[in-house]
Structure 1
Amino acid sequence: MSVSSIPLQFFLSDFWIPTIDGLEHSEPCKHDSPAEPDSIYDAWLASRHTLPEGVGRGVPGASRPITVTNLKLAHRMAKLCAPEMLKLFWSHHPLRALLMVSISFVRGIFPVFKGYSHAMIINEVQSLISSGHFTWPHLVRLLGTEFLRVVLEKYLDSFATNNEHLVQSSARFSVEYQQMEQRVRLDVPTLSDPIVRDLLSESDLFVSSFQGVGGFGLLSPFDFIRIFTLLSELVSHIYILSTLQYGPLPLITLAFSLLSTAYPFFQSSFMLYRYGFEVPAFTDNDMRLAEKQEQMRQLSLSESHRPEVMLFGLGPWILDTWAAAREAGLGINPSRRPQESIFSHMNVAEVLTALQNIPFVLMLQSSTSLGSLSLYRSSIQSIVYTVSNLFITVQMAIQGIFLMGAFCASMQIEPLLQPKREEKVKYESKTGGMRIEARNLSFTYPGCTEPALKNVSFTLEAGETLALVGYNGSGKSTLGKLLLRIVDFNSGELYINDVDIRRHDPAELHAATTAVFQGFSKYNGTVSENVGVGYVADIACPEALRRAVRLAESERIVDGLPQGIDTRLDAYGFDAPPPPPGPMPTCGGARPAWMPHGLSGGEWQRIALARAFMRAGRPEVHLLLFDEPTSALDAHAQNKICDTIDAIARAPSGRRTKTVVFITHRLATARRADKIAMMEHGCITEFGTHDELLARGGAYAALYRASL
């Protein structure tokens, strides 16, 4: 089974059973874990069914128990994901990646040289003391060699750290970019499935682990390489022990040796307590870059913004803006990374480790040299630490494999609204607007039993204006989302220009429409950004922005703001970042440029209208949909906006060029439409002109008379 077909299958099989009358809610189906999963998704899903009872599949990131079944699943997932992950690490800096792995092996051999160097120094001091002839040149050479070893080791560590930072930053950028690229592709129906949500949540944990904040401790994908280092170190210590000649070792000497070895840890703890942490300083530019990254990330991940991200085609703009800020923030270019002094992190206690054992010479009455004793003691202790760390790292690595599998599986999800390649039909416009024909449309929101729409049918000719009216909860906004291809219907048929809407690429339809949603988004940005996202190609064009503002009758509002169109707006905590550090402004002082400016409900609505007007007049736009566009405006402003929309929908000759759909509870607006659809309980109960519906004396006529 291909992963690209998975979302549709488990949308229908796991949670919804299609019937003639629509989709009825059912209990989740049980999945049998296959012995050899066919795909990454199958293996990931099977691992969720091995969770302990009570955890269930509703807790993304839950730790899988270490069982034979899960070990097989982890092996299968690692096998399937390995090519993609290796390509990820190899693609940007292949030589540096190879060097990083090689250095990891070499680091494991360091304890061999360190142990033998310390043993030789101790043996030389023991020999000098026992002979009584203090000839220092050989001891000085040994100490000099040890000092040179420490310098070289620190230099290699410094180089390895910088090299690893560059490789890790590049890989981190790639996985974050892939994550955001996939998120802006996914549509509302796909994201509404609970299993997809869990899959994406565990994928997010994998991505966040590149920052050292993974879901299972602090294991990063780069910590997998530490396993090679630990194995190399373990083999080195075993080799050291195999070369030693053992004699009687006094217990007290061994105890003192262990305490001496522990001294650097106590020293590090004291230094940390005494001098604290070194906090890095962040510049204003760093803060601006971080803010822009988070703003774009919120746009890509927030479900509240998803309809407008889809409709206005913001995906490429979000990715380009985020990528530019992210690359600058990470400092992937190695020339920008400051180089630290080789000697800045040298641990003096490490150089003196051999000398700390000299007092034990006086206590040792054995033929075994003190150097051999020290080497034996350090090797034993290192083996204990290495095996313990190796055990913990392997456990965490197994859990990390499931997160990696979730990431790889999530990258292969196809949006539900996207038609199959062989069924896709390119959207072609007709002169005079968009013709819409609905036949028995029904739709039920996931998790609900009562349909939001039931057997909705109507025909709207190209260039006509339709008003959807009715009480709250009657299905008006839901029908608008179906027409805009934001959500998919469960049964029935919907034709755009006589072509099944499911055969069109949603992106092509969205490029031919513009809209104001009832719950329009309030972006944490400037006025120009809030307006310009309606047509991002002109987001930096002052003339286009000013024209949209003028059409929305919001020039007075914008001109009255502190920085005009560049004023940052207050999104009422929607995704607003915290204020920058520093003193807050006092009463009577000048308002800082960074402080967002608040707008009233009516003012925000005009900004949303200006956003829609950014591309409403473009020739490729054939459908204008307005969901309660004037609900917060007075009657005079409402009439002017309606006049503007009517003018935009016509050519200079007066010929209709665009289809308009109004969703409104104001019947003064509805009566201006060519056709009116009265909706009740998810159904269209009346359809016709204003005069026709009044003559019928039905629900519309009663609602109209009540509004007078």
Structure 2
Amino acid sequence: MCKESKPRHLWSPSQFTNANRVRPLPKQMSVTSCRCIQKAWLASRVIPRHRGSYLMPGAHRPINEANIRLALTITRGCAFDLFIVLWSLHPVRTTLMMIINVVRGFFPAFRGYSQAMIVDELQNLISSGCFTWSRLLKLLVAEIFRRAMETAIDSFASANENVVHDSVRFFVEYQQIAQRLRLDIPTLADPVVRDCLQESDLFVRSFNGMGGFGLLSPFDFVQILAQISELASHLWVLLTLTGGSTHMGALLLSILSALLPLFLSRCGLTPSHPDLAYTSKEARTAERQEKLRNLAYNDAHRPEVLLFGLGPWILHSWASARKSMMYDERLSPLNQSTLPQILHQINVSDLLFALQNIPLLLMFQSSSASLGSLALYRSSIQSVVYTVGNLVNTARMAFQSIFLMGAFCAAMNIKPRLTPPSEDAEKYPSSPNGMKIEARHLSYTYPGCKEPSLKDVTFSLEAGESLAIVGYNGSGKSTLAKVLLRIIDFDQGDLLVNGVDIRRLTPSEYHRHITTVFQGFSKYSSTVRENVGLGYVPNMQSPAAIEHAMRLGGSDTFVGSLPNGIKTKLDASGFEFMPYSPVSGHGTMASRLQHGLSGGEWQRLAVSRAFMRADRPEVDLLLFDEPTSSLDGCVQNKIFDTIDQISRSPQGEKTKTVIFITHRLSTARRADKIAMMENGTITEFGSHDDLLKKGGSYATLYRASV
């Protein structure tokens, strides 16, 4: 098996584009700026003293001088542009949200000040002997009115924030999904791109209100403004309550004693949760553990897991990786018994509380001190400490979110590798007789493999001709098909389509002129209509088009017997029922609404899907990779008769080029040309009769199959 190799290069400048964004970034967001963001993001993931090793996607970056510089680079490169794009979705509401959040930061101090006034009034009324319920009632009504106004503002602010966050969340999720759909297989095969997309996903998830899990979206940054305004208001209250050197000294003593735990944690005298900086070994162990877990839970791998008896091996390997992680965690300084942890066992909160009471005793000596002012003083001190702690935590989260934002901006500017630059792109050269294909010395090696899958492949196919590709397993037939379909690129050589270099054609435009059946075709847990109609989405809602495609592909013979015809929901797992998900009140299984199909039935649906667009005038190439491997000879002949009929005009002239891969050499005789592949190259090319006369590998293989 081929092992995935580390990327030998970063993204090239041509891989960045602004063309596919729904809301393009401002002009200053140049290719150079995008490259700086991507380089800064990648540099932040490098594990110190471990060249070539990177933090796992989503791991926290240590707060150090180097990462602070990288964070500033990312912030300068994309923060303002991204904020402007998000702000433009709801300019008025977004501005209002920021203003209200700053104003709400003053509410706690104002609330404490209002309550202190009530306490002072009560103290004066009682001490003066002129206590009246009417005066007390007025104070309570004023307090109730204040709280009602505060609640109304909070309710309006929450409703306004929901509107803003919903629109922003939809926008970033749409951008992320659209970008993923644009990227091709060679781009997604790059480990750096995959990691970037994974951290970009985390950034998108931060808009779902998941700040408690260490994610902070750009709009959550208003929390910092609110906390700063709250901190400022409490400090102002404290300054108004203190005066003179004695009281100022008491104030500083209170603040320092309250902030002492924060300083102790920063100095390492109290346990804290360190940044998740993985070493190279820990990263590999964690990645292996997660891969083994996915292998155990992924239903797509279940048949081979059972067939090859991989269960005990997966379980044992996962247990070893998990134990290794647990052992490393036990050895970490966080879990070792050290002097700071022993000191932490001493309950210092009582000592700090006593220190904070000293200023209260000093204030009691003043004749101007009152119960309300003392209560306000005490609550303000605690609020200052609480706000500072929240501000520090929010700042730490914001620091980590900068790198996720950098990943998002970099990911949004990745260009599919197979898409040519706009200045080099050419329109697809249509031909009334099909697609002419010229391959010259094509070579291709899968990433991480030493041996090429294609080696010096050369052939020419005229427009309207049919080609059968035959050979032993592993000879490169399916790889050649993917290259011809522009699913993967080739490393060397030239591939011309109607005389134009295929690398100058936009893949999406090129694919409009092709229909295909892959050897590993997709099975969708959806209706028959959608399984077939996905071959040509514009006609998906046309019953006539669906029925025509099913008739051509031979799937109409069994679809009519399904419970709901083309509306029957299919179970792509291949099972009729699943023993879970009971429907409440009915005692049946939800999955019973899905119908299972045999391998041959699924294959006929896949062929019908290809026939949804096969007879359209813009389609010039029909490529089928083992389209009848699970079908009997009668159905096979019918499908190939249909292919031949579709590839001709009503007058019998060839209008489409046909390429099919097959192991059945009796079928290969139908083709105008036959390509015999061995060890990744075409060793023989010609008609069936010519290759038999030649007496080479094809003749030997054909005689052995007859």
TM-score by shorter chain over 0.5:
yes
Please tell me the residue identity of whatever aligns with 1:665: H
Is contact 2:34-2:410 (8 Å) kept? no
Aligned match of 1:694: 692
| 1:598 maps to which of 596, 599, 605 | 596
Structure 1: distance between partners of 2:157 and 2:580: 37
- Go from structure 1 to structure 2 and tell me whether the alpha carbon gap of 1:55 and 1:659 turns closer, same or farther (over 3 Å shift): closer
- Go from structure 1 to structure 2 and tell me whether the alpha carbon gap of 1:408 and 1:138 turns closer, same or farther (over 3 Å shift): same
Please tell me the residue identity of whatever aligns with 1:149: R
Q: 5 Å matches for 1:556-567?
A: 556-567=557-568
Structure 2: distance between partners of 1:54 and 1:136: 76
TM-score, length of structure 2 as denominator length: 0.76
Is contact 1:551-1:644 (8 Å) kept? yes
CA-CA distance at 1:509 after TM superposition: 1.0
| 1:640 maps to which of 638, 641, 654 | 638
Aligned match of 2:335: none
CA-CA distance at 1:157 after TM superposition: 0.7
- Go from structure 1 to structure 2 and tell me whether the alpha carbon gap of 1:594 and 1:428 turns closer, same or farther (over 3 Å shift): farther
Aligned match of 2:407: 406
Query: Which range moved further: 54-63 or 149-158?
Result: 54-63
Q: Secondary structure at the match of 1:57?
A: coil
**CA-to-aligned-CA distance 1:82-140 (integer Å, 9 cap, x gap):** 23322232222110000000001101111221111111111112223323332222222
CA-CA distance at 1:402 after TM superposition: 0.5
Structure 1: distance between partners of 2:441 and 2:55: 35
| 2:228 maps to which of 220, 231, 241 | 231
Is contact 1:8-1:416 (8 Å) kept? no
Q: 5 Å matches for 1:50-61?
A: 53=50, 56-57=53-54, 59-61=56-58
Q: Secondary structure at the match of 2:88?
A: helix
Q: Which runs of 5+ in 1 are unaligned?
A: 1-6, 14-35, 256-301, 305-359
CA-CA distance at 1:9 after TM superposition: 5.9
**CA-to-aligned-CA distance 1:36-80 (integer Å, 9 cap, x gap):** 996211221221225674993261112111111211211121122
Structure 2: distance between partners of 1:51 and 1:199: 20
Q: 5 Å matches for 1:445-524?
A: 445-524=446-525
Structure 2: distance between partners of 1:556 and 1:398: 61
Structure 1: distance between partners of 2:40 and 2:657: 48
CA-CA distance at 1:384 after TM superposition: 0.3
Aligned match of 2:10: 10
Is contact 2:582-2:590 (8 Å) kept? no
| 1:221 maps to which of 183, 201, 218 | 218
Is contact 2:102-2:226 (8 Å) kept? yes
Aligned match of 1:664: 662
Please tell me the residue identity of whatever aligns with 1:642: F
| 1:67 maps to which of 64, 67, 73 | 64
**CA-to-aligned-CA distance 1:256-282 (integer Å, 9 cap, x gap):** xxxxxxxxxxxxxxxxxxxxxxxxxxx
Q: 5 Å matches for 1:377-396?
A: 377-396=378-397
Q: 5 Å matches for 1:73-88?
A: 73-88=70-85
- Go from structure 1 to structure 2 and tell me whether the alpha carbon gap of 1:578 and 1:144 turns closer, same or farther (over 3 Å shift): farther
| 2:609 maps to which of 591, 608, 611 | 611
Structure 2: distance between partners of 1:640 and 1:38: 54
Is contact 1:104-1:228 (8 Å) kept? yes
Aligned match of 1:650: 648
Structure 2: distance between partners of 1:71 and 1:121: 47
- Go from structure 1 to structure 2 and tell me whether the alpha carbon gap of 1:594 and 1:139 turns closer, same or farther (over 3 Å shift): farther
- Go from structure 1 to structure 2 and tell me whether the alpha carbon gap of 1:688 and 1:12 turns closer, same or farther (over 3 Å shift): farther
Structure 2: distance between partners of 1:557 and 1:547: 14
Structure 1: distance between partners of 2:390 and 2:82: 24
CA-CA distance at 1:507 after TM superposition: 1.3
Q: 5 Å matches for 1:672-687?
A: 672-687=670-685
- Go from structure 1 to structure 2 and tell me whether the alpha carbon gap of 1:133 and 1:366 turns closer, same or farther (over 3 Å shift): farther
Is contact 1:50-1:64 (8 Å) kept? no
Is contact 1:208-1:214 (8 Å) kept? no
Is contact 1:50-1:70 (8 Å) kept? no
Is contact 1:123-1:369 (8 Å) kept? yes
Aligned match of 2:420: 419
Q: Secondary structure at the match of 2:423?
A: helix
Aligned match of 1:150: 147
- Go from structure 1 to structure 2 and tell me whether the alpha carbon gap of 1:38 and 1:652 turns closer, same or farther (over 3 Å shift): closer
**CA-to-aligned-CA distance 1:614-651 (integer Å, 9 cap, x gap):** 00000100000000000000011111111000000011
Structure 1: distance between partners of 2:185 and 2:651: 39
Is contact 1:442-1:489 (8 Å) kept? yes
Structure 1: distance between partners of 2:172 and 2:142: 44
Structure 1: distance between partners of 2:150 and 2:111: 10
**CA-to-aligned-CA distance 1:222-281 (integer Å, 9 cap, x gap):** 3211000000000101000000047999x9xxx9xxxxxxxxxxxxxxxxxxxxxxxxxx
Is contact 2:46-2:52 (8 Å) kept? no
Is contact 1:568-1:594 (8 Å) kept? no
Please tell me the residue identity of whatever aligns with 1:519: G
- Go from structure 1 to structure 2 and tell me whether the alpha carbon gap of 1:491 and 1:157 turns closer, same or farther (over 3 Å shift): same
Please tell me the residue identity of whatever aligns with 1:501: I
**CA-to-aligned-CA distance 1:324-361 (integer Å, 9 cap, x gap):** xxxxxxxxxxxxxxxxxxxxxxxxxxxxxxxxxxxx9x
Is contact 2:34-2:413 (8 Å) kept? no
CA-CA distance at 1:579 after TM superposition: 7.5
Please tell me the residue identity of whatever aligns with 1:187: D
CA-CA distance at 1:530 after TM superposition: 0.9
Aligned match of 2:536: 535
- CA-atom RMSD, angstroms? 3.1
Please tell me the residue identity of whatever aligns with 2:154: D
**CA-to-aligned-CA distance 1:267-324 (integer Å, 9 cap, x gap):** xxxxxxxxxxxxxxxxxxxxxxxxxxxxxxxxxxx9x9xxxxxxxxxxxxxxxxxxxx
Structure 1: distance between partners of 2:422 and 2:665: 43
Q: Secondary structure at the match of 2:431?
A: coil
- Go from structure 1 to structure 2 and tell me whether the alpha carbon gap of 1:370 and 1:248 turns closer, same or farther (over 3 Å shift): farther
Aligned match of 1:90: 87
Structure 2: distance between partners of 1:112 and 1:60: 41
CA-CA distance at 1:595 after TM superposition: 2.1
Structure 1: distance between partners of 2:201 and 2:49: 23
Please tell me the residue identity of whatever aligns with 1:376: Y
Q: Secondary structure at the match of 1:493?
A: strand
Is contact 1:434-1:463 (8 Å) kept? yes
Aligned match of 1:568: 569
Is contact 1:216-1:400 (8 Å) kept? no
- Go from structure 1 to structure 2 and tell me whether the alpha carbon gap of 1:215 and 1:555 turns closer, same or farther (over 3 Å shift): farther
Please tell me the residue identity of whatever aligns with 1:622: D
Q: Determine whether 1:194 maps to 2:191.
A: yes
Aligned match of 2:123: 126
Structure 2: distance between partners of 1:578 and 1:486: 38
Give the share of equivalent positions with the same residue, in percent.
59
- Go from structure 1 to structure 2 and tell me whether the alpha carbon gap of 1:177 and 1:44 turns closer, same or farther (over 3 Å shift): same
Query: Which range moved further: 667-676 or 232-241?
Result: 667-676
Q: How many residues align?
A: 572
Is contact 1:107-1:229 (8 Å) kept? yes
Please tell me the residue identity of whatever aligns with 2:652: G
Query: Which range moved further: 494-503 or 132-141?
Result: 132-141
Is contact 1:558-1:565 (8 Å) kept? yes
Please tell me the residue identity of whatever aligns with 2:691: L
Please tell me the residue identity of whatever aligns with 1:467: A
- Go from structure 1 to structure 2 and tell me whether the alpha carbon gap of 1:180 and 1:563 turns closer, same or farther (over 3 Å shift): same
Aligned match of 2:350: none
Please tell me the residue identity of whatever aligns with 2:133: W
